[in-house]
Amino acid sequence: MTDTTPETGPKLAPTTWVNPLTPWGTAGQDDVTSVQAPDPRQPWDENTAYKAKTYKVGRLKHYIVWPAHGAKLWDRWRWWPTRRNLLHIKGLYNRKTLKAEKKILDRRPVYWAICLLLLAIAPFFFPESMENTLLSAGAIFGIFAAINVCWTLIVGTASIFSLASYAVVGVAAFLTTWLSANMGLPWYTLPLIGAFMGLAMGAIIAIPALRLDGFYYALLTLGLNELCRVFFTTSSEFGSASGGLYGADTYISDQWEPYAQSLTGYYGAFLLMIASLFLFRFINGKRLGRILRMAPEKREAFAEACGVDYRRARVTIFVLTSAALGFIGGFYAAQFGGVAFQIFSFDTVLLGLAMITIGGIGKAEGAILGTLVVTVLDKVMIDWGPIRHFSIGLIMLGVVLFLSNGYFGIKKQFNAWRDKKRGEWRSIRSEKGGEALPEEATEQDDKDELFFRRFDKMQRDYLKGLICPEIIEEHRRQPLGQHSEALERVCYYFRRAPMEDKYALHHDHAKDRYKIIAFSGKRGVSPRVVDDREYDNVGDAYHAIFIRRVHDLMES
């Protein structure tokens, strides 16, 4: 393409330019056919306003921003025994005022504290008429939230699409109930025994996960779930006649008043949920979680090449979490004194899926919010009848259709959407390589750059008009040295360009040939080859660069 004559600007009056060096004999070209360069102030006279409508920019300070401590001592508290500060706060200088301000970079601990506190004191504010329903729903919420937090670790953090979480819980619950009922084990041993069972099951289910992926693995685990259901429902040992197995020792004594029983159940489940959150924090927020964040889906091969053993991390998480699920199963038995076959039913799996999807897979807060929504609909809004399952379905549908990662993905999704919209608006409003608009100026710290963009735009507007076959021919004949005014102005502009993507030549000594390259403008970063085309002599190569620069100018 570099050989073609570029688009040229409007026709200017031709002129013969007399080289001032002619009397000295050093001119190279004496009389040159060129064009008359018009007044360079012309574009400044023509461009006295933005072509796009301009709007005022600025964001009102509508909340309190705390000043930094300045000369006062700032005693930073930590979460014992970690080195983590109470809140991730940073001092920053306000770009508008230079005032030193504090910014909480991660507000989630505040929200967690408020929400957990609300859950902790909620029973005291339940209306009396609903007290029983809400307390038992709360207990179920706590246990299911714990299960879902574990499940989201498997599906989210470890990216293992297992549907067997409820199967693990169920098996552990059934076996511990059976052990307790038949061998008289006390309630506090059940979660621990459950954990061992979970560990064993996890290890078994993990083996195929080494080979199977995605849909196939989901099918396998679903099959496993079904296998458990069929086994337990048909086995008389496990109460095939009574719809479940009961009779385990429980920490809630039936001697107590019903309200005390419900309240104990509520807080027991609440503590279980807190424990699961700690598990989540220690797996997702520590080494294992970090390893897996380096190996997100579809980029595993790259991570592996970097030495990240993501398979091992995934399986470790799976096995650990299965133990936790087993623990929950044992706890379930110790809470309710037994378990129903319902735990293996496909509905349960589906409801569970709804729970982790609504809030956002891979996030503890997502699992908990999802569980809350579904439990409230399922267990509290009993008056609604079948509509409530219908609405769960609708919510799930809505989440899957409109949100990319559940409720807690909304912020990120919204920001991405706003960025996209901003890009679209900018591309409509601003010209490529044009002046900076007021909204763009907010992102620029060096205000000098804003004037440079204006100046550059005027320059280009002017120089585009000078490009014509005459000056291109003049350059071809003599790339270096004294040029006519029209060509010299164009060359000055080209030579002054910033370093990024500025053209130069590469000389291959062995072949004695030249290639066009472009500098990176970044210290220590090599130039890139622009074009494979090679030139025999340096003059042709200089001219090829010139043509390329003319093309770039005319396209801007």
Position among 52, 68, 115, 410 found at the interface with other proteins (CB under 8 A): 68
Number of residues that bind other proteins (CB under 8 A): 64
Position among 90, 299, 312, 447 found at the interface with other proteins (CB under 8 A): 90
| 318 in Cβ contact with 206 (< 8 Å) | yes
Cα–Cα dist 428/300, whole Å:
39
Comparing C-alpha atoms, which of 292, 279, 352 is closest to residue 321?
A: 279
Our finding on whether 528 is near other proteins (CB under 8 A) is no
Position among 83, 211, 298, 411 found at the interface with other proteins (CB under 8 A): 83
Q: Which stretch in 76-84, 291-299, 424-432, 437-445 sits in contact with other proteins by CB under 8 A? A: 76-84
Our finding on whether 539 is near other proteins (CB under 8 A) is no
Burial class, 432, CB count within 10 angstroms (exposed 0-12 / middle 13-18 / buried 19+): exposed
Concatenated DSSP letters of 199-235: HHHHHHHHHHHTT--HHHHHHHHHHHHHHHHHHHHH-
| 17 in Cβ contact with 28 (< 8 Å) | no
Our finding on whether 81 is near other proteins (CB under 8 A) is yes
Position among 503, 547, 550, 553 found at the interface with other proteins (CB under 8 A): 503
Position among 87, 116, 380, 505 found at the interface with other proteins (CB under 8 A): 505
Our finding on whether 527 is near other proteins (CB under 8 A) is yes
Our finding on whether 293 is near other proteins (CB under 8 A) is no
The nearer residue to other proteins, 64 or 73, going by C-beta atoms, is 73
Residues 452-481 touching other proteins, rule: CB under 8 A, are 479-481
Residues 93-112 touching other proteins, rule: CB under 8 A, are 93, 97-100, 102
- Residue 31 CA from chain centroid, whole number: 63
Our finding on whether 421 is near other proteins (CB under 8 A) is no
The nearer residue to other proteins, 99 or 421, going by C-beta atoms, is 99
Cα–Cα dist 108/140, whole Å:
25
Cα–Cα dist 398/406, whole Å:
10
Our finding on whether 394 is near other proteins (CB under 8 A) is no
- The pairing of beta strand 338-340 with beta strand 244-246: antiparallel
The nearer residue to other proteins, 96 or 299, going by C-beta atoms, is 96
Cα–Cα dist 87/242, whole Å:
52
Comparing C-alpha atoms, which of 147, 153, 140 is closest to residue 166?
A: 147
The nearer residue to other proteins, 62 or 83, going by C-beta atoms, is 83
Comparing C-alpha atoms, which of 337, 556, 366, 352 is closest to residue 463?
A: 556
Residues interacting with other proteins, by CB under 8 A?
Answer: 20-21, 23-28, 68-78, 81, 83, 85, 90-93, 97-100, 102, 479-482, 488, 491-492, 494-499, 502-510, 514, 517, 519, 523-527, 538, 542, 545
